[in-house]
Structure formats: C-alpha cells, structure tokens
C-alpha cells in the first residue's frame, strides 16, 4: 500500500537556527498537506500544495511540492520556541482518497 | 461554533471490555476518519467513511468497529479483540477525501 515517510524523525535545534523536514511518498499525490501537532494537542492544518513544483510561504515557513509530486519539504527560518511540535505531511491515497499521514518530524527548540 | 467534538477526553477501561469513543461534527463534512497515535508515533488510519452508511478499513482495523448512520456522527468501538488498545485516538473530518482535515481534541484511552 501507499507509504509516506518523513525525515528526520527528530530534530533538536537552538532557537534562531533553521529547520527542514522532508516528506516522500511511494506514489504520486494529487496534493500534499502539512499539519502541526503541539505536544499534548491535536494536528492542525497548515497548508495544502496542489501544483507540481509549487512553493508557498507563511511568514517564516516555506513549503515546497516536488516536480514529480511525490515529495515535499517544510523549511522554517530562524526557529522560535513556539515552533515546537510534530510536523506531519499527508496526502490522499487509494481510489477513495483516504488521507494518509507521514511518520512525522518532532522539532525541539532550545531557547 | 462549528467543529468536531470527541468525548470523553480521558477514558479508562478494564481489559476485556468493549468501549465506544464518540465523534461528532457539525461542519457538514462528508468524510470522517479515525486515527490511532502511540507515543512518539505518527497517525495510523483505523477506519474512514466517505459518506453516510459506508465505511472502509484502514491499515489497522483489526479489533475495531465503526458505524456511520448519520452524517454528523462516526463512533469508534474498541473491542476486546484489540491486543494493545491503550493509545491516543483522533477523529477527523473533511469536506471530501482529499481536502483539509479538521481534528477533534482526541481521546486518550487507557486499558488496565
């Protein structure tokens, strides 16, 4: 079945450093979504990318969808302690477009 | 307020008992999902439903059952056949299968 992997599994940075997480799907995706889950919380939608090669920015966050629509990345510039959490990518899979989540990247930011 | 509600937030059960987790949404969404999350793990799909009276198994459906009799409701039953039921359970809904998902607050189930 379809698999969505993310690397790294865990990243610890000093506040102010940059951070990137990578998402790779075993199949081509019609779109890619990114979610953030704060410790103890539930996932919250951040953004959706649809077009091949698409790049979108949200303040310090930059999202990219690969040309082949099988991979994506999230880059955070100058991390802050409020960025702490687990970042998940997700894509629709199968004939019924069920939402399949990646394995997630846990980001820890040291002040 | 529109949203998706899970109850209860914390649930304790004895081993061998079935337990039903509630999930209700007033967003008029067609698609609904149940995910399981274990400590330090990602989200694994248990069941999903694209429309009323229809649902499909996800990757880890064994030991779980669902129903979708109303558009607003998608309860999940954790049966005694589930070997390791202690986990964080998240319900989500979306307009359709490939759009933004909204999550409930989750139910943390502990089986002793």
Tens of pLDDT along chain A (111 residues) come to: 778 999 999 999 999 999 999 999 999 999 999 999 999 999 999 999 999 999 999 999 999 999 999 999 999 999 999 999 999 999 987 777 788 999 999 999 999
Q: What is the mean pLDDT of chain B?
A: 93
Query: Phi, psi at residue A35, to the nearest 5°?
Result: -130, 155
Residue B33 predicted with pLDDT over 90: yes
Is pLDDT larger for residue B41 or for residue A46? A46
Residue B39 predicted with pLDDT over 90: no
- Tell me the residue ranges of DSSP E strands in chain B: 4-7, 10-13, 19-25, 31-37, 43-51, 54-57, 64-66, 76-78, 87-94, 102-103, 107-111
CA atoms within 13 A on the CB side of A18: 7
Q: Which residue of B has its CA nearest to A100?
A: B45
Q: Which residue of B has its CA nearest to A93?
A: B98
The string of pLDDT tens digits covering residues B45-83 is 999 999 999 999 999 999 999 999 999 999 999 999 899
Give B2's pLDDT tier (boundaries 50, 70, 90): low
Site from A101, A102, A107, A108 to mutate, B interface, most B CB atoms within 10 angstroms? A101
- How large is the C-alpha radius of gyration of chain A? 13
pLDDT (0 to 100) of residue A63: 98
Q: What is the DSSP letter of B26?
A: -
pLDDT (0 to 100) of residue A94: 73
Cβ contacts of A35 within 8 Å, gap of 6 or more: A43, A44, A45, A46, A87, A88, A89, A90, A101, B101
pLDDT (0 to 100) of residue B1: 58
| Spatial contact of A78 and A16, defined as CB atoms under 8 Å apart | yes
Site from B34, B38, B100, B107 to mutate, A interface, most A CB atoms within 10 angstroms? B100
CB atoms within 10 A of CB B14: 9
> Percent of chain B having pLDDT more than 70?
98
Q: Which residue of B has its CA nearest to A96?
A: B97
């Amino acid at each position: 079945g379809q698999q969505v992997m993310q690397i790294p599994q865990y990243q610890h940075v000093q506040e102010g450093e940059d951070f990137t997480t990578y998402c790779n799907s075993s199949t081509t995706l019609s779109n890619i979504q990114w979610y953030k889950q704060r410790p103890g919380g539930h996932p919250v939608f951040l953004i959706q990318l649809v077009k091949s090669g698409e790049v979108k920015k949200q303040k310090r966050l930059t999202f990219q969808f690969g040309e082949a629509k099988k991979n994506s990345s999230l880059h955070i510039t100058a991390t802050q302690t409020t960025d702490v959490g687990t970042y998940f990518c997700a894509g629709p899979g199968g004939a019924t477009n069920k939402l399949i989540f990646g394995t997630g990247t846990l980001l820890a930011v040291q002040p | 307020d529109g949203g998706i509600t899970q109850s209860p937030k914390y649930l304790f059960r004895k081993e061998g008992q079935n337990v039903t987790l509630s999930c209700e949404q007033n967003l008029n969404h067609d698609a609904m999902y149940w995910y399981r999350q274990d400590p330090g793990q990602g989200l694994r799909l248990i069941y999903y439903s694209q429309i009323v009276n229809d649902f499909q198994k996800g990757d880890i459906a064994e030991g779980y059952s669902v129903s979708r009799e109303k558009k607003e409701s998608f309860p999940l039953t954790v049966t005694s056949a589930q070997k390791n039921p202690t986990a964080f359970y998240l319900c989500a809904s979306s307009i359709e299968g490939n759009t933004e998902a909204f999550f409930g607050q989750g139910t943390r189930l502990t089986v002793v």
